[in-house]
Amino acid sequence: MHIAGKVDVNDLPRICPLLSRKTTPRYGETQTRVVEVGRVRFGGERPVVIAGPCAVESRDQTLEIARAVKGSGADMLRGGAFKPRTSPHDFQGLGLEGLKILREASRETGLPVVTEVMDVRLVEQVAEYVDMLQVGSRNMQNYPLLVEVGRSGKPVLLKRGMAASLCEWLGAAEYIANEGNLEIVLCERGIKAYPNGEYARYSLDLNVIPAVQAETFLPVIVDPSHATGVAAMVEGASRAAIEFGAQGLIIEVASDRLDSVKPRCDAAQAITPRILRRIIHYIDTRQEYVTEMTHAAQA
């Protein structure tokens, strides 16, 4: 039986010739094309850790968390100024004010910042304030938006659609590349599966990490916060992702001060700066071991 539109990984050289290892053999079978955001190098020597609040809720909240994640050793800051919410009655983010707060937090801490852009009309404005644009899971197949972020001249963090196949995801990345922008970092953030909502928010698809790396030279990172939706699972999911070869993590963090206000968005999945520090310590010590073993093998 022939089904219209049916594709599989064998079709990737046709779907994404700019990004497929087969059609763009410059990076061989295993090399990653490094994406630089300021001094941060995705696909470089060491996994990159992006951390920060789900949403920018206020100046004080964002500055406090930015300082805390910097203190825990994070490489980059995250925070949503425009939030994709299930209900239009839920907090939608602070918009332009949120972008200004992110820029201030980034200046103060020296951490480059990534934020989501949802609206094709706002790409230029958002790009003025941040170092990297995020295309969220819900917008992975918003093709006009992909074209616009491709033209923005900014590096792009492209989240996997929550029900997207590998072909659809890499096809989406190709839209950005097709505008001459190869500064793309892919992000697995959990996919829809039958038990979702019973014990976790989504299902973290670790298997896709080596699969992505076999097909393309783009770096791939993991979001253990949205993938699990449960703060207690974030550390384990982070470690597992690193073991599977993830080239970075993006993690939601909230204040652990007793008098802090509960986040208005995704509170149940936010970890404390202390747990973040532990995850980063794990990455650093593992990295020392990997480096030692590589040197030993070369000696």
Stretch that binds ligand PEP, among 41-49, 68-76, 133-141, 142-150 (CB under 6 A): 133-141
Shortest spacing between CB 54 and ligand PEP, in angstroms: 6
Length of the chain: 299
**CA 63 to CA 6: how far, in whole Å?**
47
Q: Which is nearer to Mn ion, 54 or 254 (CB)?
A: 54
Stretch that binds ligand PEP, among 98-106, 136-144, 206-214, 286-294 (CB under 6 A): 136-144
- Number of shown-chain residues binding Mn ion (CB under 5 A): 2
Q: Which is nearer to Mn ion, 57 or 266 (CB)?
A: 266
- Under the binding rule (CB under 6 A), the answer on residue 189 touching ligand PEP is yes
Q: Which two tokens stand for residue 75?
A: 């490489």
**CA 118 to CA 219: how far, in whole Å?**
22
- Under the binding rule (CB under 6 A), the answer on residue 80 touching ligand PEP is yes
- Residue 131 interaction partner, one of Mn ion, ligand PEP, none, beta carbon < 5-8 Å per kind: none
**CA 116 to CA 173: how far, in whole Å?**
16
Question: How many other C-beta atoms lie within 10 A of the C-beta of residue 238?
Answer: 29
Shortest spacing between CB 210 and Mn ion, in angstroms: 26
**CA 177 to CA 255: how far, in whole Å?**
37
**Could you write out the DSSP letters of every residue in 258-295?**
TTPPPPSS-GGGPBPHHHHHHHHHHHHHHHHHHHHHHH
Q: Which two tokens stand for residue 74?
A: 């994070």
- Under the binding rule (CB under 6 A), the answer on residue 84 touching ligand PEP is yes
Stretch that binds ligand PEP, among 17-25, 103-111, 130-138, 288-296 (CB under 6 A): 130-138
**CA 215 to CA 278: how far, in whole Å?**
32
- Under the binding rule (CB under 5 A), the answer on residue 266 touching Mn ion is yes
Shortest spacing between CB 85 and ligand PEP, in angstroms: 9
Pure H helices in the chain: 12-15, 59-72, 96-109, 123-129, 143-151, 166-177, 208-215, 224-228, 231-243, 273-298
CB 185 within 8 A of CB 220: yes
Chosen residue from 64, 75, 116, 215 binding ligand PEP by CB under 6 A? 116
Instruction: Write the interaction track for ligand PEP spanning residues 218-257; mark x where CB under 6 A is met and - where it is not.
Output: -----x--x-------------------------------
Chosen residue from 136, 150, 155, 171 binding ligand PEP by CB under 6 A? 136
User: Which residues of the shown chain bind Mn ion in the complex (CB under 5 A)?
Assistant: 54, 266
User: Which residues of the shown chain bind ligand PEP in the complex (CB under 6 A)?
Assistant: 54, 80, 84, 116, 136-138, 159, 189, 223, 226
